[in-house]
């Protein structure tokens, strides 16, 4: 009879190990995998408390990743404590199995499940590194007598899977960080480094898309080009650092002035700025161009090397209802000619071309 009981226990343990092995192979998401193993151990053995704690070397802590408890306990997923603290912390730090039949005799015992009398902690080790701890507790003394070998086998069995899950998680974090870094780089590549408004690259993409949309919907598209008057004289007279400050200020003025409109502002190059106005007729585009011109003049930025004595801008506006599939060149050329006319007529003014 005793041999029959022993044989049944062996078969039961082999069955448990087989189920755990399948779980470890099926799931590389660490938390769910460990929780399924916890549930399997409870289903088979009915232990009051079962938990897995992951070792976090960077923070010098262990962290609960999965837990089952029949009684109220301080332990929950995410619970953390310092390595070396308590029986679990001691196991994580030393890498030694701690089989405690009577917790009252253990100096490092911390009672996180009220009434705990016995505790078995098994390190999960992969190539000499303690990755996690399997912890079982009971309110009965000596409850895990004869179970140490089973749980050490479980630990050996899942060590590789935990290592793989950690690597997968680390790879996912690295990929997320890489995506975030790429997004930042991509964003920076679309901004002008001096004025922090969209750059020529952004303008080209926006203008092409707005032009195609206007052609497809047979709707008006306006383009406004603004150029800082006598900017070379400003640079030569005040220096390039002051010139940079001037461009930053003009960009800020334009951005604030068109806020709330459909306009999209970009630095086209040098001292030239562009505003794309989808769905906007020439009359409205001219009015907006006049507002930005007045806003720059109203800021009264000193320019001793210009006839006006202030920093001003000349602005050209043009509008078209593009033919479907047509190029952007014609509309840009008309806005550029209008800007030239504003310059030729004396600067600090707006000219329009239909």
The residues spanned by each domain of the chain are 2-176, 200-353
How far is 306 from 315, CA to CA, in rounded Å? 17
Domain 2-176 has CATH 3.10.450.50: no
How far is 21 from 13, CA to CA, in rounded Å? 12
Overall pTM surpassing 0.95 (yes/no)? no
Q: Which pLDDT score, from 0 to 100, does residue 1 have? A: 42
Sorted by sequence, the CB contacts under 8 Å of residue 99 that are 6+ apart come out as 120, 144, 148
The continuous run of DSSP H or E covering 118 comes out as strand 118-126
Q: Which two tokens stand for residue 186?
A: 């991509």
pLDDT single digits (tens) 81-103:
999 999 999 999 999 999 999 99
Higher pLDDT pick, 224 / 26: 224
As its CATH architecture, domain 200-353 has 2-Layer Sandwich (3.30)
Do β-strands 350-353 and 313-320 pair in parallel, antiparallel, or remain unpaired? Answer: parallel
Would you say the CATH fold of 200-353 matches that of 2-176?
no
How far is 354 from 351, CA to CA, in rounded Å? 10
H helix intervals, the chain: 2-26, 30-45, 86-94, 148-189, 200-217, 231-238, 240-258, 282-298, 329-344
* DSSP line for 202-215: HHHHHHHHHHHHHH
Q: Which pLDDT score, from 0 to 100, does residue 180 have? A: 76
- For the question of residue 129 being annotated catalytic, the response is no
Mean per-residue pLDDT of the chain? 90
- Given 26, 61, 271, 283, which residue is catalytic? 271
Residue entry with tokens 């408390």: 49
Asked whether residue 4 carries a pLDDT value surpassing 60, the answer given is no
pLDDT single digits (tens) 212-271:
999 999 999 999 999 999 999 999 999 999 999 999 999 999 999 999 999 999 999 999
User: Quick one: how far is CA 298 from the chain centroid?
Assistant: 41
Contact 228, 250 (CB under 8 A): yes
Q: Which two tokens stand for residue 4?
A: 């029959």
């Amino acid at each position: 009879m005793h041999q029959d009981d022993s044989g049944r226990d062996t078969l039961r343990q082999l069955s448990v190990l087989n189920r755990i092995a399948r779980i470890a192979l099926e799931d590389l998401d660490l938390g769910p995998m460990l929780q399924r193993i916890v549930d399997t151990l409870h289903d088979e053995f009915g232990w009051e408390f079962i938990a897995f704690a992951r070792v976090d070397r960077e923070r010098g802590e262990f962290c609960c990743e999965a837990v089952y408890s029949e009684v109220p306990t301080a332990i929950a997923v995410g619970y953390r404590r310092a390595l070396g603290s308590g029986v679990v912390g001691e196991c994580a730090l030393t890498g030694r199995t701690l089989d405690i039949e009577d917790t009252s005799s253990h100096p490092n015992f911390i009672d996180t499940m009220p009434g705990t009398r016995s505790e078995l902690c098994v390190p999960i080790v992969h190539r000499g590194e303690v990755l996690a701890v399997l912890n079982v507790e009971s309110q009965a003394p000596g409850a895990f007598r004869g179970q140490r070998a089973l749980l050490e086998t479980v630990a050996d069995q899942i060590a590789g899977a935990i290592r793989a899950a950690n690597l997968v998680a680390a790879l996912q974090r690295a990929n997320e960080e890489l995506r975030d870094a790429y997004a930042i780089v991509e964003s920076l590549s679309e901004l002008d480094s001096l004025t922090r408004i969209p750059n020529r690259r952004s303008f080209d993409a926006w203008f092409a898309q707005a032009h195609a949309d206007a052609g497809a919907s047979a709707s008006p598209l306006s383009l406004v080009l603004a150029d800082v008057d006598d900017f070379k004289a400003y640079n030569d007279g005040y220096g390039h650092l002051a010139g940079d400050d001037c461009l930053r200020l003009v960009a800020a003025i334009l951005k604030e002035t068109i806020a709330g409109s459909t306009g999209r502002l970009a630095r086209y190059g040098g001292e030239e700025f562009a505003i794309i106005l989808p769905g906007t007729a020439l009359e409205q585009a001219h009015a907006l161009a006049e507002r930005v011109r007045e806003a720059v003049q109203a800021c009264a930025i000193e320019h001793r090397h210009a006839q006006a004595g202030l920093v001003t801008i000349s602005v050209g506006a043009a509008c078209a209802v593009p033919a479907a599939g047509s190029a952007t060149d014609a509309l840009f050329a008309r806005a550029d000619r209008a800007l030239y006319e504003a310059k030729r007529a004396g600067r600090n003014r707006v000219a329009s071309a239909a």
